[in-house]
């Protein structure tokens, strides 16, 4: 038993030579909805910074950090030998190739610099930013499914899907698993935390929880996801995604501990 892959064109629409893909729309939706959600969260603490104006000003910084970091991370973590042989391919972002862990690193650097320039709390900014990230993850993973990429390992479960590039056997729709865990579930958890005054007034708890939640979700899903063909398994057990999540989980745990220890300080 298997579910045939839905006949969805990865191209959403085209206008003359301009081609717009669902994957690009997923990025746009993530940034726009995440930005609007961040403005809403600022309204919960009207007298604190970052405020709505800070979020508006940070948006281009965040976009640049995510895109540059995501591309650089993919080059370094997943395809370094190929890009060293053909460095001009790095610029061809339209061919795909983004790393979440690289994007997260780029966003953290952007937040650190922005917080220092604007003299605002880095941890408060990180809390607000991280609350919106699951929105982008949700749409991004759905776009991965539409593209028929990053599919799962072979399976005999009733909801297995036969992907166009995955051979004739059914596979786990691991993109959907990730959309539900990293996107929907993590969004709800962080929303509940953001609505809690005691947690919101301890800068860093939400950001640390995001790092832990994403890391654990990714580690779990990677057991169902087909590893990258050019890398395979590390130590014949783990995938690159799982290895990269270890420092995320540890770092998130430290941030939560640090924030709890500081108590009600402003970060």
For residue 221, the Cα-to-chain-centroid distance in whole angstroms is 14
Q: What burial letters (b/e) apply to 63-79, b meaning 16+ CB within 10 Å?
A: bebbbbbbbbbbbebbb
Of 87, 86, 124, 90, nearest in space to 204 by CA: 124
Q: How many CB atoms lie within 10 A of CB 140?
A: 22
Is 49 assigned to a binding site? no
The burial class, CB within 10 Å (0-12 / 13-18 / 19+), for 25 is middle
Alpha carbons 130 and 208: distance in angstroms, whole number: 9
Q: Which residues have CB under 8 Å from 6's CB, separation 6+? A: none
What whole-number distance in Å separates Cα of residue 58 and Cα of residue 87? 31
* Secondary structure (DSSP) of 138-168: HHHHHHHHHHT-S-B-B--STT-EE-TTS-S
Orientation angle between helical segments 186-194 and 205-222, nearest 10 degrees? 170
Binding site residue list: 141
């Amino acid at each position: 038993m298997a579910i045939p892959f839905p006949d969805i064109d990865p191209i959403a629409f085209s206008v003359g030579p301009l081609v717009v893909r669902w994957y690009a729309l997923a990025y746009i939706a993530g940034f726009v909805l995440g930005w609007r959600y961040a403005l809403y969260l600022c309204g919960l603490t009207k007298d604190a910074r970052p405020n709505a104006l800070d979020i508006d000003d940070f948006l281009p910084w965040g976009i640049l950090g995510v895109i540059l970091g995501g591309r650089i991370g993919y080059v370094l973590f997943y395809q370094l030998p190929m890009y060293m042989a053909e460095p001009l391919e790095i610029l061809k972002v339209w061919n795909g190739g983004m790393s979440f862990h690289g994007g997260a690193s780029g966003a953290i650097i952007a937040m650190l610099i922005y917080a220092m320039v604007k003299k605002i709390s880095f941890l408060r900014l990180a809390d607000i930013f991280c609350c919106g990230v699951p929105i982008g993850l949700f749409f991004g993973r759905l776009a991965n499914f539409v593209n028929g990429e990053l599919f799962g390992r072979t399976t005999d479960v009733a909801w297995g899907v036969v992907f166009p590039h995955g051979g004739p056997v059914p596979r786990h729709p691991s993109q959907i698993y990730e959309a539900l865990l990293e996107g929907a579930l993590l969004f709800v958890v962080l929303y509940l935390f953001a609505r809690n005054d005691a947690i919101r007034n301890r800068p860093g708890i939400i950001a640390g929880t995001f790092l832990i939640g994403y890391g654990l979700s990714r580690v779990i899903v990677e057991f169902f996801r087909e590893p990258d063909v050019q890398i395979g398994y590390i130590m014949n057990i783990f995938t690159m995604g799982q290895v990269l999540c270890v420092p995320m989980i540890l770092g998130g745990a430290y941030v939560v501990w640090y924030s709890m220890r500081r108590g009600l300080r402003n970060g």
